[in-house]
Structure 1
Amino acid sequence: MTETQDLDGFSDKMSAQPPADIDRERCALIVVDMVNAYLDPAGEMPVSDAGPVIDATRALVDATRAAGGKVVWVRPGHTEGADGLFRIRIPHAIGEGHGAQIHPDLAPDEAEKLIKKRRYSSFFGTDLDMYLREHDIRSVIVCGVALNICVRSTVHDAFFNGYDVFVVEEACKATGEREHESTLYDIATHFGQVLSLEDAVSRLA
C-alpha cells in the first residue's frame, strides 16, 4: 500500500491523531514463521521467491539489535498430526523437524526469545504478551510469512493488546500478490502502520 493510494469510503475515516513513531527504547521485532517449511523450496508449504523477504528480514533484525530492541522469533510448535490447525491445513512443521526450524540464512541469538505457537497468531496460547509487558515494550514491529495469515493474525492481536504496531512491507511475504496488497491495505487503515524497509531501518537508527 502506498501513501497516495485512494481509500474506500469506510477506511478513509482515519483519526486526526498523529501516528505513533517507533519507540527505540521500548520496541520489539516479532519475526513470524521464517522457517524451512515455508521458505525452503523443498518445504511442505513453500512460498515463491523467498530470497528477498529473507534478506529484508535479516536487515531488519540487524537494525533492531543495533537499536537495542528485543528480537522475538516465532515458529510453529505443532506436536502431532491431530493438532487442531490441521483441520484445514495439511500437517507440516511438526515437532523439532527440519520444517519447523528457522531458515539457516537467519541466525537467532541464543539470548533472544523463541516462541512456539500452535495457531496462526503468535499471541494465542503463548506467553508473548507477558514477555513484551515484562520488558516494557510499547512498539511492536512485525515481519514474516505468511503476511495474510500468521503475520496478520499476530498484528491483530498486537493491536488488540494495545501495542503500537508497525509492519515492514519488504520483510513480509503473502501467499499471493493480491493477498499481499489487500492485507497491507487493511493493516494500514485499521491495525497499524505499514513501513518500507528503508523507513523502518532509518527510524531504528
Structure 2
Amino acid sequence: MSLDVFSAHRNEQEVRLDATRTAVIVVDMINEFCKPGGKMVLPGYETLVGPQLAIIEAARASNTPVIWIHDAHRPGMRHEREWAKRTPHCLENTWAVEIIEDLGARPDEIHVTKRRYSAFFQTDLDLVLKDMKIDQLVVFGVVTNICVRSTVHDAFFNGYEVVVPADACAATGQREQESSLYDIGTHFGVVSDSKAVVAALSGGATIANQIAA
C-alpha cells in the first residue's frame, strides 16, 4: 500500500527487541470472540493461532512476559459504555471471557481485565509494565480495528515502542485490517509479521516496518 501525502511525512523506524524490556500483549483471544457459542464470533480466528503460538513460545523461551487481556463486563450497569454501541457481551466470570484453549494461557502469567476497548484504559496494565521495566510491546489479537488498535494507540501515548505482527491479528474485514495496520505503521508503531517477531525475540534481529514508503 502506497502512503498518502500526509502519512508520507514520517520517520523511518526499525525496532530491535530486547527480551528484558519487552512484553507480549495478547488482546481478547477469548471464547466470546472466537468459539462457537460466542455472541460476537470473528470468522477465521483459527488462522491466527499458529502465528500467535509461535510468538508466545518464543517469548516464553526468552523469558519475555506474556500478558493476557480479557474483555469482561459486569451485569446490571445502568449505562455500560461498550453495550451502548455493541450487543451485550463478555459477562465477567463466565466461559465467554476465558482465553481460548488453543493458546495455552497459563494461570501464573499476567491476566488483565478491561472494561473498554483499550487494555490501558483504567486498568493497571501501565503500572504492571512499568514495575517490570518494560518499554517495548508486541501487541496482537482481535480485533485489529477496535481493541488492538485502541490498545496500540494508548501504548504509543504512554511512551511504549510497539510492534504489531499483522498475521497474528484479524479485523472485522479486509478493508478494516488494511486501514488499521496502515495507520499503525505510519503513526503509532511498526507493523511486521510473526516470523520477524520470533527472530527478534530469539536472537535480537531487527524488525523493519512493513508499511511501504
Provide TM-score, normalisation by structure 1.
0.94
Shift of residue 81 of structure 1? 5.3
**Cα distance in structure 1, aligned partners of 2:90 and 2:50:** 22
Letter in structure 1 aligned against 2:63: G
Partner in structure 2 of residue 21 of structure 1: 16
Shift of residue 77 of structure 1? 2.1
Q: Which runs of 5+ in 1 are unaligned?
A: none
Q: Which runs of 5+ in 2 are unaligned?
A: 203-213
Letter in structure 2 aligned against 1:193: V
Q: How many correspondences in the alignment?
A: 200
Q: Tell me if the contact between 1:81 and 1:94 (Cα under 8 Å) persists in the aligned partners.
A: no
Letter in structure 2 aligned against 1:171: A
Partner in structure 1 of residue 209 of structure 2: none
**Cα distance in structure 1, aligned partners of 2:76 and 2:157:** 30
- What do the CA deviations read for 1:32-91 (whole angstroms, capped 9, x no partner)? 000011111321000111111122211111111111111100011211153221111111
> What secondary structure does 1:179 align onto?
helix
| Structure 1 outlier segments of 4+, above 4 Å | none
> What secondary structure does 1:119 align onto?
coil
Identity rate of aligned residues, in percent? 43
Provide TM-score, normalisation by structure 2.
0.91
- Is the counterpart of residue 104 in structure 1 residue 101 in structure 2? yes
> What secondary structure does 1:123 align onto?
coil
Q: How does 1:1-205 map to 2 (within 5 A)?
A: 5-15=1-11, 18-80=13-75, 82=77, 83-205=80-202
Q: Tell me if the contact between 1:36 and 1:98 (Cα under 8 Å) persists in the aligned partners.
A: yes
**Cα distance in structure 2, aligned partners of 1:81 and 1:175:** 28
Shift of residue 110 of structure 1? 2.1
**Cα distance in structure 2, aligned partners of 1:98 and 1:110:** 15
Letter in structure 2 aligned against 1:175: T
Question: Superposition RMSD on alpha carbons, in Å?
Answer: 1.2
Q: Tell me if the contact between 1:79 and 1:95 (Cα under 8 Å) persists in the aligned partners.
A: yes
Shift of residue 19 of structure 1? 2.8
Aligned CA distance change for structure 1 residues 153 and 7 (closer, same or farther; 3 Å): same
